[in-house]
Amino acid sequence: MSGESNVVYIGRKPVMSYVLAVITSFRGSNAKEVTLKARGRAITTAVDAAEITRRRFMEELKVGKITIGTEEIKREEGGTRNVSTIEITLTSE
């Protein structure tokens, strides 16, 4: 989980780690929305975390907004490469 209480950055941990982070963000700080942010291969983990949270643990959640994009990452050997990104906003009613 990140320093911002309503943003969860997705990486290489197991999916259930991020599901727990989302649930903690909603219940711990009474947030109305939580955003999952991921890029590259972690995008599938972000989608899985959002769906598991919505379907198994917090059925009242809705998907508020999904934003996709591309970031340019500088390579060590020079040049850049493009990496896909996604932001999934979950909202509670």
Instruction: List beta partners, residue 39.
Output: 85
Q: Where are the domains of the chain?
A: 7-91
H/E stretch holding 80 reads strand 80-91
pLDDT number for residue 31 = 86
* Model pLDDT for residues 23-74, shown as the tens digit of each residue: 999 988 888 999 999 999 999 999 999 999 999 999 999 999 999 999 999 9
Q: What is the topology classification, in CATH, of domain 7-91? A: Translation Initiation Factor IF3 (3.30.110)
